Every structure is written in structure tokens, then in C-alpha cells.
């Protein structure tokens, strides 16, 4: 290929016009519903006291003998981080702990939504409870586990609605659900009052930016999938000087085995995957129930004819006719695999498919929490994530990504 020709080509070896042109319909393969797991928490929960630090001497003895956090104190974690050669090891451990706890809360609420037959996002209350609850847990756990430096969190939710008249009941539900999840985990002997809950949400108001460290959180990514009982993710990343240096993706309904085989998820297999990656250290997956992490890498397919590609389940989020047309031009034969959330990035990173195409409708502005964790999981697994013009995604510009041309993630061979 001559240089002039190469310059005209975009990612996937296609001219930019082909990436941004239009349409051809494609048949689809939707990921089979993951088998549901028994809820760990009833929902809605009965109310219970919001502060239970022991006062009597006998309960003080019980308090002294309480189960301790398994991963050790922040100081110990920092020492381990230095010893392991991963400068973000303490942050990674905290991030995994935070999203695992949030995933438990979300699973309990999703079970309730599915069982109660709520199928529309219009009935917002349980979704709202889970969104806020997940953000609160992640915010609280990070603050308790990572003590170094100022705390900055760029997250989707704020407490404005919960501070309005009439929101008292839902705030109480959220408070109870958060406290119950913490108590049930056995990790901390602490509970929170409503004001602490509201301020944990508002910790997520940071604007991010090019300097310092910022956590980036989507407390429930793929809300529509969550309501349907399908895929969703709790996505948490860390920015350091404008770069994503760490990412974790809790995908409670994603099979642990590959979803490249349509029957793969029905092999009696476990669901609940936790992807993680730290810059320069590779990417891993483990079960949300705590199996040992295993290194993952993107697939080595070099001919799109043998590739399958991921895209949003929701056509409102990505133009299915355009992605179908791109796939056709590439020679992809398999129908698209449509799933919600950054579970797509996780599945791509472990080689379940070769390409993820995301082309929102004109005017949509992507938020950093929808891609930060997923993109580092893919790049650390050996893949590439760019916009349709081939530029790296820039997470240093605040709460939004500065692009309007779509996102492509794939392995180096297909790019
Ligand atoms: N019109 C639109 N175009 C593109 N993305 C959209 C969109 N409306 C919402 N989204 C984003 O798409 C995310 C879900 O991605 P996916 O389609 O891959 O499941 C949503 O995350 P939330 O569910 O956290 O709001 C939301 O941020
Ligand atoms: Mg999202």
C-alpha cells in the first residue's frame, strides 16, 4: 500500500467516508439472557437503625472481634503496591472492592425489578435506587480505602433530586440499602446517616481534567439493559494527569466463559465477571465471587471474514444501519452481537469478538465514564481504541469526550 493511500484510510483499513457513510441492514444475534442468581438482599428492605457503633462493653468485645477487611489497611496496601511493582496496586484493590460491593447492591435491585415485572425505564424508582446506591458505595469505599491525596470523583449522579421535598422516602430506601449491603459484606463495621449518603453522591461532581488524579465512575452503565434484566456494568477508572491508568468493570450478568459461541453461556457456566487493567500491567478477568484473576488478551483474528463484532443493543445509542454497512464493507459474515454497556469492552478484551463499533446519532456527546474503564481493559489486553478518525480517546477534557465521529475498538491485526 502506498503512503498516500494509507493516509486516506481510517481505522479498519476503510476510508473515513466508508466509516461515516450509510447503511445496510444486518441480522443480529443478541446475547442470550444470563441465568439469574439468587438475590443476596431483599428489596425493598425493611428500615433499620442508621448508626450502630456499639456502646456497651459486651458489644465492644464483639466489635473488637468483628470481621476485618480482607485486603488490609490502606497503608499495608500501599506497601504491597510498591513491593509488587504496580504503582497503582492499592488503587486497583480498592477499585475492585468498591465495584464488587456495588454489584451486589445492583444485583439485588435487578432481581426485584425482574420479579416485579417492571420493564420500562418510565418506572424509575428502583433504577434510581440502584444508580444512587452504586455510586454511594463506590464513593464511600474509595474514600475509606485510598487515603493518599485529595479525593476527586467524576460520576454520573448528583443529589439534587434527592434533596427535594417528596424524596424523603426514596432517600431512606437508598440509605437502608447501602447500609445493608455494607453490613452484609462484613467488610466494615460502619453505617451512614442520610446526610453522609447525600454527600457521598455529591463527591461525584468533580469536573476531572488534565491534571491530578480523578476517579471516573458509571454506577450503572447500560441502565436500559439493567431494567430489561440483561447486561450492565459498574465501570470505574482512574485518571492520572489526564491518562486512564486503571480500570475495572464489574459485569454481574456476563458469563465467565466466552460469549463468542452463542451456546457458550448456557453451558451451566457461572455469570459475573470482573475485568481489571492497570497501565503497563496487562488486563485480567476474575469472577465477581472471587476466583483468582487470569490474564486476558484480545483475539488474534486478522481477517474480518472470521470476525464477529459488538455493538449497542439500543439502536438509539449507535446507528445499526451504519455499523451493518461498515461490517459488510469489511467482509464480516457473522451478525452483530448486541449487548448493553461496557460489558462489550470486557468481552472484546478476552477475545470473544474482534471488533466493537459505536456510532451514536449526530449531536450526541460521549461522557468519559462510558469509555474510560472499558478502553484501558481493551488496550491492556493488546487491543486498540480510537475514534473513527483514528485518534486516541482524550479523557483529559472534563466530563465529556471531545469527539463526534464514533468509536472503534479492535485488535491490532484488524485495525
Ligand atoms: N442517544 C445516545 N447515543 C449514544 N449513547 C447514548 C445515548 N443515550 C445514552 N447513551 C449512553 O449509552 C450508554 C449505554 O451504552 P450501551 O448502548 O453501550 O449500552 C448509556 O449509559 P447509561 O446506561 O449509564 O446511561 C448512556 O451514557
Ligand atoms: Mg453509561
- Provide ipTM, 2 decimals: 0.99
- State the angle between helix axes of 168-185 and 125-145 in degrees (0 to 180), rounded to the nearest 10: 50
220 assigned to some structural domain: yes
Ligand 1 midpoint to CA 223 (Å) = 8
Tell me what pLDDT residue 209 has.
98
Q: 22 with 83, same domain?
A: no
2 assigned to some structural domain: no
* Residues making up the binding site: 156, 218, 220-221, 370
Residue of the CA atom closest to atom 4 of ligand 1 = 317
Percent of the chain with pLDDT over 90: 69
51 assigned to some structural domain: no
Mark which of 266, 296, 326 sits at the end of a domain: 296
Residue 69: all three cell numbers together: 477487611
Q: Is the pLDDT of residue 221 over 50?
A: yes
Ligand 1 midpoint to CA 52 (Å) = 39
8 Å CB contact between 356 and 409? yes
Average pLDDT of span 222-249? 96
Average pLDDT of span 226-249? 97
Structurally, the chain folds into a number of domains equal to: 2
8 Å CB contact between 204 and 155? yes
Tell me what pLDDT residue 17 has.
63
The sheet carrying 309-311 orders its strands as 29-30, 337-338, 309-311, 355-358, 407-411, 383-387
Residue of the CA atom closest to atom 15 of ligand 1 = 341
Q: Is the pLDDT of residue 76 over 70?
A: no
Q: How far apart are CA 344 and CA 323, in angstroms?
A: 15
Ligand 2 midpoint to CA 365 (Å) = 12
Cβ–ligand 1 distance for 360 under 6 Å, the answer yes
88 assigned to some structural domain: yes
Q: Is the pLDDT of residue 62 over 50?
A: no
Q: 312 with 176, same domain?
A: no
47 assigned to some structural domain: no
Q: 274 with 328, same domain?
A: no
* Mean of all residue pLDDT scores within the chain: 83
Using a cut of 0.90, tell me whether the model's pTM lies above it: no
50 assigned to some structural domain: no
58 assigned to some structural domain: no
Please tell me the least confidently modeled range out of 54-58, 248-252, 289-293, 326-330.
54-58
Q: Is the pLDDT of residue 14 over 80?
A: no
CA distances from 57 to 53, 54, 67, 190 (A): 12, 8, 18, 18
Q: 93 with 134, same domain?
A: yes
Q: 349 with 291, same domain?
A: no
8 Å CB contact between 16 and 389? yes
59 assigned to some structural domain: no
8 Å CB contact between 370 and 234? no
Tell me what pLDDT residue 232 has.
98
Q: 182 with 84, same domain?
A: yes
- Supply the CATH number for residue 379's domain: 3.40.190.80
Looking at the DSSP bridge assignments, the partners of residue 236 are 217, 248
Q: What is the number of other CB atoms lying within 10 angstroms of the CB of residue 207?
A: 10
Instruction: Give 12's pLDDT tier (boundaries 50, 70, 90).
Output: confident
Cβ–ligand 1 distance for 364 under 6 Å, the answer yes
Q: 164 with 227, same domain?
A: yes
Cβ–ligand 1 distance for 223 under 6 Å, the answer yes
The three-state (H, E, C) secondary structure of the chain, written as one string: CCHHHHHHECHHHCEHHHHHCCCCCCCCEECCCCCCCCCCCCCCCCCCCCCCCCCCHHHHHHHHCCCCCCCCCHHHHHHHHHHHCCCCHHHHHHHHHHHHHHHHHHHHHHHHHHHHCCCCCCCCHHHHHHHHHHHHHHHHHHHHHCCCCCCCEEECCCCCHHHCCCCHHHHHHHHHHHHHHHHHHCCCCCCCCHHHHHHHHHCCECCCCCCCEEEEEEEEECHHHHHHCCCCEEEEEEEECCEEEEEEEEEEEEECCCCCCCCHHHCCCCEEEEEEEECCCEEEEEECCCCCCEEECCCCCCCHHHCCEEECCCCCCCCHHHHHHHHHHHCCCCCCEECCCCHHHHHHHCCCCCEEEECCCCCCCCEHHHCHHHHHHHHHCCEEEEECCCCECCCCCCCECCCCCCEEEEECCCC
Q: What is the pLDDT of residues 139-160, one digit of tens each?
A: 999 999 997 789 999 999 999 9
Q: 262 with 393, same domain?
A: no
Cβ–ligand 1 distance for 400 under 6 Å, the answer no
Q: 81 with 120, same domain?
A: yes
- Supply the CATH number for residue 162's domain: 3.30.540.10
Mark which of 296, 316, 338 sits at the end of a domain: 296
Distance spanning both ends of the chain, measured CA to CA? 15
Ligand 1 midpoint to CA 317 (Å) = 6
Instruction: Give 77's pLDDT tier (boundaries 50, 70, 90).
Output: very low
Q: What is the pLDDT of residues 319-361, one digit of tens each?
A: 999 999 999 999 999 999 999 999 999 999 999 999 999 999 9
Q: 225 with 105, same domain?
A: yes
b/e map 381-390, b = 16+ CB within 10 Å: bbbbbbbbeb
Q: Is the pLDDT of residue 305 over 90?
A: yes
Tell me what pLDDT residue 343 has.
98
Cβ–ligand 1 distance for 316 under 6 Å, the answer yes
Mark which of 233, 263, 296 sits at the end of a domain: 296
Please tell me the least confidently modeled range out of 56-65, 119-128, 253-262.
56-65
Q: How far apart are CA 379 and CA 374, in angstroms?
A: 9
Tell me what pLDDT residue 127 has.
79
Q: What is the number of other CB atoms lying within 10 angstroms of the CB of residue 77?
A: 20
Q: Is the pLDDT of residue 317 over 70?
A: yes
Cβ–ligand 1 distance for 317 under 6 Å, the answer yes
Q: 317 with 392, same domain?
A: yes
Tell me what pLDDT residue 149 has.
85
Q: What are the contacts of 285-292 at 24+ separation with CB within 8 A?
A: 285/256, 285/346, 285/349, 285/350, 287/256, 288/100, 288/103, 288/250, 288/251, 288/252, 291/256
* Residues making up the binding site for Mg(2+): 156, 218, 220-221, 370
Residues near ligand 2 ion, CB 5 Å cutoff: 218, 221, 370
Active site residues: 131, 223
Residue 404's domain comprises 11-33+297-411
Q: 202 with 319, same domain?
A: no
Amino acid at each position: 500500500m502506498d503512503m498516500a493511500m494509507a493516509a486516506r484510510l481510517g481505522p479498519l483499513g476503510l476510508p473515513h467516508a466508508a466509516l461515516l457513510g450509510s447503511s445496510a441492514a444486518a441480522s443480529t444475534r443478541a446475547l442470550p439472557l444470563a441465568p439469574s442468581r439468587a438475590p443476596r438482599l431483599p428489596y425493598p428492605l425493611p428500615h433499620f437503625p442508621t448508626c450502630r457503633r456499639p456502646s456497651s462493653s459486651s458489644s465492644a468485645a464483639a466489635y473488637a472481634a468483628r470481621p476485618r477487611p480482607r485486603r488490609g489497611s490502606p497503608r499495608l496496601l500501599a506497601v504491597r503496591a510498591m513491593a509488587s511493582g504496580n504503582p497503582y496496586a492499592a488503587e486497583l484493590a480498592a477499585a475492585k472492592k468498591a465495584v464488587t460491593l456495588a454489584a451486589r447492591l445492583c444485583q439485588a435491585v435487578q432481581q426485584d425489578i425482574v420479579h416485579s415485572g417492571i420493564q420500562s425505564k418510565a418506572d424509575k424508582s428502583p433504577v434510581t435506587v440502584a444508580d444512587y446506591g452504586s455510586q454511594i458505595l463506590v464513593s464511600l469505599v474509595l474514600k475509606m480505602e485510598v487515603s493518599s491525596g485529595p479525593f476527586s470523583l467524576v460520576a454520573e449522579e448528583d443529589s439534587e433530586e434527592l434533596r427535594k421535598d417528596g424524596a424523603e422516602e426514596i432517600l431512606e430506601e437508598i440509605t437502608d440499602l447501602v447500609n445493608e449491603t455494607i453490613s452484609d459484606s462484613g467488610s466494615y463495621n460502619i453505617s451512614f446517616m442520610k446526610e453522609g449518603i447525600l454527600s457521598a453522591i455529591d463527591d461525584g461532581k468533580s469536573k476531572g481534567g488534565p491534571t491530578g488524579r480523578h476517579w471516573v465512575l458509571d454506577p450503572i452503565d447500560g441502565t436500559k439493559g439493567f431494567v430489561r434484566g440483561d447486561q450492565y456494568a459498574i465501570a470505574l477508572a482512574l485518571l492520572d494527569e489526564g491518562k486512564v491508568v486503571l480500570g475495572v468493570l464489574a459485569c454481574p450478568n456476563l458469563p465467565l466463559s466466552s460469549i463468542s459461541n452463542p451456546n457458550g453461556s448456557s453451558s451451566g457456566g457461572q455469570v459475573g465477571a470482573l475485568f481489571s487493567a492497570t497501565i503497563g500491567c496487562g488486563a485480567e478477568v476474575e469472577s465477581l465471587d472471587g476466583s483468582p484473576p487470569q490474564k486476558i488478551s484480545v483475539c488474534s483474528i486478522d481477517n474480518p471474514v472470521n470476525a464477529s463484532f459488538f455493538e449497542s443493543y439500543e439502536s438509539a445509542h449507535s446507528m445499526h444501519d451504519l455499523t451493518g454497512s461498515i461490517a459488510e464493507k469489511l467482509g464480516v459474515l457473522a451478525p452483530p452481537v448486541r449487548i448493553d454497556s461496557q460489558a462489550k469492552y470486557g468481552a472484546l478484551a478476552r477475545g470473544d469478538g474482534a471488533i466493537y463499533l459505536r456510532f451514536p446519532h449526530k449531536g450526541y456527546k460521549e461522557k468519559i465514564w462510558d469509555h474510560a474503564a472499558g478502553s484501558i481493559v481493551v488496550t491492556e489486553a493488546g487491543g486498540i481504541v480510537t475514534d473513527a478518525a483514528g485518534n486516541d480517546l482524550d479523557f483529559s477534557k472534563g466530563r465529556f469526550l471531545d469527539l463526534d465521529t464514533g468509536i472503534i475498538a479492535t485488535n491490532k491485526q484488524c485495525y
